[in-house]
Amino acid sequence: MEFRIDRRNGTAAYQQIVQQVGQALRLGILAPGDRLPTAREVAESCAVNPNTTLKAYRELEREGLVEPRPGLGTFVRRSLARPQAAADSPLRVELEAWTDRAREAGLEREDATALVASVLEERYTAGARPRGAPDTPGASSASSASSASSASRARSEENG
């Protein structure tokens, strides 16, 4: 795994390392037993102080995601990956297509990021239901199928 530190984004370098490890764990790029780069390797490749990396690794250890093994390095302890979020999942393919459309429509990276962040905030707030989810716990699967079919038709009309 290679880290990329963006000194212009306002996020501390150690926090960027924590975020990148978390993302790699969620995407299945890192798995239990994988060894993370040493603090010296990260210092050389990213031009950060080795203590920055050690601080990030301590934070990840507190979260139960990694474990240091004296004399061997720091190893991934558990995964955060879900099949639906894997790097090769159908959802990623859809997101890539959406991103391509956003770029073609003239959105800058920051515009797309703001748009995605606002939708995530709206859709992941307490009580929010995914589009097409039944209104009540006992709703029939026919109702769900009908909603999914309507959503599919709407997407086809958008794309067609």
Residue 157 has pLDDT above 80, yes or no: no
pLDDT band at 127 (very low <50, low <70, confident <90, very high): low
- Residue 132: its pLDDT value, please? 60
Tell me if residue 70 falls in helix, strand or coil. coil
The pTM assigned to this predicted structure is: 0.64
Residue 142 has pLDDT above 80, yes or no: no
Tens digit of each residue's pLDDT (9 = 90 or more) over 82-103: 877 776 778 888 999 999 999 9
